[in-house]
Amino acid sequence: MNIVTINTQPYDDQRPGTSGLRKKVKVFQTPHYLENFVQAIFDTQTDLRGGILVLGGDGRYYNREAIQIILRMASANGVKQVLLGRGGLLSTPAASCIIRKYDTAGGIILSASHNPGGPDEDFGIKFNTPHGGPAPETVTEAIFHRTTEIDEYRILQTPPIDLDNPGKISLGDTQINIIDPVDDYADLMMELFDFDRIRKLFDSGMFSMRFDAMHAVTGPYATEILEGRLGAEPGTVINGIPKIDFGGGHPDPNLVHAHQLVELTRGTGAVNFAAASDGDGDRNMILGRNFFVTPSDSLAVMAANAHLIKGYSGGISGVARSMPTSQAADRVADKLGLLCFETPTGWKFFGNLLDGRKITLCGEESFGTGSDHIREKDGLWSVLFWLNLLAVKQQSVEKIVTDHWKAFGRNYYTRYDYEAIDKADAENLMDALREKLPTLPGQTLSGYRVEYADDFAYTDPVDGSISERQGIRVGFSDGSRIVFRLSGTGTEGATLRVYLEAYETDPSKQTQSTESVMTRLVDIALALAEIEHRTGRTKPSVIT
Ligand code: G1P
Ligand code: ZN
């Protein structure tokens, strides 16, 4: 056994963002860059020595190379066993499931989520703790701090191993157990959802569906679960073969990037139900025939109907949403007497609430919904939840959602992203907004009266930790809202996100176009943040 210690020097840019460390592939390929970060994980997460580590990624460019490096470092750092997804693949939700199921010391997930893949695109790495969720800030800060002082790492010198055959391999004193990436996850889904009922829906001949895996990691999962275990017709899963560059696409399930799928829900022969997932399988988009369900509404509909779904029929304790997510779920919680929490952006903030059983369901406007079954958002879980609901209700997606609006009001919602703007410009824009905050309450802007304006801060109700400067909220007296924040996942310049929400309780006004309802709020947002003047942008890069 040949363990070597390699001298290295710290990099100063290894602080994890909203979801792990994300950089261009080229950055990860600089000598010792990946190794430093991985050694910082082993140095700070000491239970990994002698413990079980889960390892896998979304299959993007550099996934296999990174896996080989991490395996050799895991061995050199005394990990007892590595549970590795075959081919180096594990979706983020499957990794969370496996971390929890096998009493492990945590997992390393390689992914840049919905960001494009390829030699000039993005790569990422994150550590999930033994409860299965993304490491909380105390842990990511400890890892980051270690990267700033690191001077050596340990690695086993050995040739690459074959990642593609299930079974056990010894690497030094470490056992590498190559497992089927889908099985454990699919079994968990069968516990939560009524597969017999969903199978009957597919068998009825009256129902058709397409799932767009966007050439990313969920292809094998969706094929096994939908076409295999649920008997959906072959071809239900499209773009189902994972590719290292996602077929040149942008594996982000929204109306812009999943347009091929959107087309299948329109016109004659349109399918009844369509859904898509992202690079690593934690995001989802839900579509009915000619109908788009906003992720914020999806969470609210789930909360209102959870009692109809097998795994949640005993009732749910509460619901949480990230701050910029629309308040649709709050309306449901209000009416049903559920606990309700508003957290900063990023799934890691749901972890304590889920562990403490304060909530059962949670979600983000960024196409993420999930529950206490794991500690990550879960794309296919969301799709199965909807399928189960459709099978129970025997109604269209549109009918379910419009009925929901009648009962709870509609939260019109849209998000404007300004990508790759200058970092300093973005910081200045946010600073200028912060300065305006005290003067806003009580002012009327284009007919909207400002009720509150603040920079969102969150105190975790379980461990008391405080997270400040999490985004600027401007709330109006009619329940409408504008939120401004800078992305924590980008790899180029800064991304400004502007989130807009308008609340409508009158059913006769609930079927207008979102664009027309938002016009005045958009104008207010543009003027308040002086977006054109400060960024030079006349249009957002993406509207979702
Ligand atoms: C984005 C989303 C956020 C999500 C994260 C990881 O982060 O806005 O809701 O948790 O990706 O998928 P952001 O780039 O806004 O920091
Ligand atoms: Zn993702």
User: pLDDT tens digit string along 399-455?
Assistant: 999 999 999 999 999 999 999 999 999 999 999 999 999 999 999 999 999 999 999
Nearest ligand atom owner, CA of 93: 2
Minimal-distance CA residue to ligand 1 atom 13 = 487
Q: How far is the CA of 17 from the centre of ligand 1 (A)?
A: 9
Note the pLDDT tens digit of each residue in 82-109: 999 999 999 999 999 999 999 999 999 9
The two structure tokens encoding residue 508 = 């006769």
Of 19 and 494, which is predicted with more confidence? Answer: 494
Task: Provide the pLDDT confidence category of residue 226 given band limits of 50, 70 and 90.
Answer: very high
**pLDDT at site 145:** 98
**pLDDT at site 406:** 98
Q: How far is the CA of 252 from the centre of ligand 2 (A)?
A: 8
Note the pLDDT tens digit of each residue in 296-326: 999 999 999 999 999 999 999 999 999 999 9
Task: Provide the pLDDT confidence category of residue 222 given band limits of 50, 70 and 90.
Answer: very high
Task: Provide the pLDDT confidence category of residue 488 given band limits of 50, 70 and 90.
Answer: confident
CATH of the domain at 464: 3.30.310.50
- Report the atom number in ligand 1 closest to the C-alpha of 17: 16
Minimal-distance CA residue to ligand 1 atom 6 = 19
How much of the chain, in percent, has pLDDT values that exceed 70?
100
Q: For the purposes of burial, counting CB atoms within 10 Å of the CB of 136, is it exposed (0-12), middle (13-18) or buried (19 or more)?
A: middle
Minimal-distance CA residue to ligand 1 atom 10 = 346
Q: How far is the CA of 88 from the centre of ligand 2 (A)?
A: 17
Residue 67 has pLDDT above 90, yes or no: yes
**pLDDT at site 402:** 98
Minimal-distance CA residue to ligand 1 atom 2 = 366
With contact defined as beta carbons under 8 Å apart, do 97 and 185 qualify?
A: yes
To the nearest whole number, what is the mean pLDDT of the chain?
Answer: 96
Nearest ligand atom owner, CA of 344: 1
How much of the chain, in percent, has pLDDT values that exceed 90?
95
430 and 369 part of one domain: no
Q: How far is the CA of 263 from the centre of ligand 1 (A)?
A: 26
The residue type at 46: T
Nearest ligand atom owner, CA of 252: 2
* CA triple 30-22-223, angle to 5 deg: 115
Question: Residues 213-220: what's their mean pLDDT?
Answer: 97
Q: Is the pTM of this model over 0.85?
A: yes
Question: Residues 186-207: what's their mean pLDDT?
Answer: 97
Residue 206 CB contacts under 8 Å (≥ 6 apart), including other chains: none
**pLDDT at site 137:** 86
Question: Residues 103-129: what's their mean pLDDT?
Answer: 96
Residue 466 has pLDDT above 80, yes or no: yes
**E strand or H helix at 185:** helix 183-192
- Report the atom number in ligand 1 closest to the C-alpha of 366: 9
CATH of the domain at 287: 3.40.120.10
Owner of token pair 């703790």: 129
Tell me the pairing of strands 81-89 and 52-57.
parallel
397 and 524 part of one domain: no
Report how far residue 295's alpha carbon sits from residue 304's, in angstroms, rounded to the nearest whole number: 14
The tally of CA atoms less than 13 A away on the side-chain side of residue 68 is 11
225 and 213 part of one domain: yes
**pLDDT at site 17:** 85
Exactly one of 113, 296, 298, 480 is catalytic; name it.
Answer: 113
Q: How far is the CA of 376 from the centre of ligand 2 (A)?
A: 10
Minimal-distance CA residue to ligand 1 atom 4 = 346
User: Domain boundary at 130, 151, 180, which?
Assistant: 180
Q: How far is the CA of 377 from the centre of ligand 2 (A)?
A: 8
Residue 1 has pLDDT above 80, yes or no: no
192 and 314 part of one domain: yes
**pLDDT at site 318:** 97
The two structure tokens encoding residue 335 = 């009416």
248 and 279 part of one domain: yes
User: Domain boundary at 161, 180, 199, which?
Assistant: 180
239 and 285 part of one domain: yes
Minimal-distance CA residue to ligand 1 atom 15 = 487
Task: Provide the pLDDT confidence category of residue 398 given band limits of 50, 70 and 90.
Answer: very high
Report how far residue 347's alpha carbon sits from residue 260's, in angstroms, rounded to the nearest whole number: 28
Looking at the 3D structure of the chain, how many domains does it have?
A: 3
Q: How far is the CA of 487 from the centre of ligand 1 (A)?
A: 7
User: Domain boundary at 180, 199, 219, which?
Assistant: 180
* Among the listed residues 293, 213, 224, 319, the one whose alpha carbon sits nearest the alpha carbon of residue 260: 213
**pLDDT at site 28:** 98
Residue 531 has pLDDT above 80, yes or no: yes
Task: Provide the pLDDT confidence category of residue 243 given band limits of 50, 70 and 90.
Answer: very high
**pLDDT at site 490:** 72
- Report the atom number in ligand 1 closest to the C-alpha of 495: 14
Owner of token pair 């910029």: 324
- Report the atom number in ligand 1 closest to the C-alpha of 488: 16
**pLDDT at site 148:** 98
Residue 348 has pLDDT above 90, yes or no: no
Nearest ligand atom owner, CA of 484: 1
Ion ligand 2 contact residues with beta carbon within 5 A: 113, 278, 280, 282-283
**pLDDT at site 486:** 95
437 and 300 part of one domain: no
Report how far residue 81's alpha carbon sits from residue 72's, in angstroms, rounded to the nearest whole number: 12
Known catalytic membership, residue 541 = no
The whole domain housing 476 covers 410-543
326 and 257 part of one domain: yes
The two structure tokens encoding residue 512 = 């207008």
Minimal-distance CA residue to ligand 1 atom 8 = 366
Minimal-distance CA residue to ligand 1 atom 11 = 489
Around ligand 1, the residues with Cβ closer than 6 Å are 18-19, 113, 322, 345-347, 364, 366, 487-489, 497
- Report the atom number in ligand 1 closest to the C-alpha of 19: 6
- Report the atom number in ligand 1 closest to the C-alpha of 365: 9
* Among the listed residues 131, 108, 147, the one whose alpha carbon sits nearest the alpha carbon of residue 20: 108
Residue 489 has pLDDT above 80, yes or no: no
468 and 536 part of one domain: yes
**pLDDT at site 193:** 98
277 and 213 part of one domain: yes
Nearest ligand atom owner, CA of 284: 2
* CA triple 96-326-344, angle to 5 deg: 50
Of 19 and 279, which is predicted with more confidence? Answer: 279
Please spell the DSSP secondary structure of 238-285, one letter per residue: ES-S--TTGGGS----STTTTHHHHHHTSSTT--SEEEEE-TTS--EE
Task: Provide the pLDDT confidence category of residue 227 given band limits of 50, 70 and 90.
Answer: very high
Neighbours of 190 (CB within 10 A): 15
Q: How far is the CA of 7 from the centre of ligand 1 (A)?
A: 35
347 and 464 part of one domain: no
399 and 426 part of one domain: no
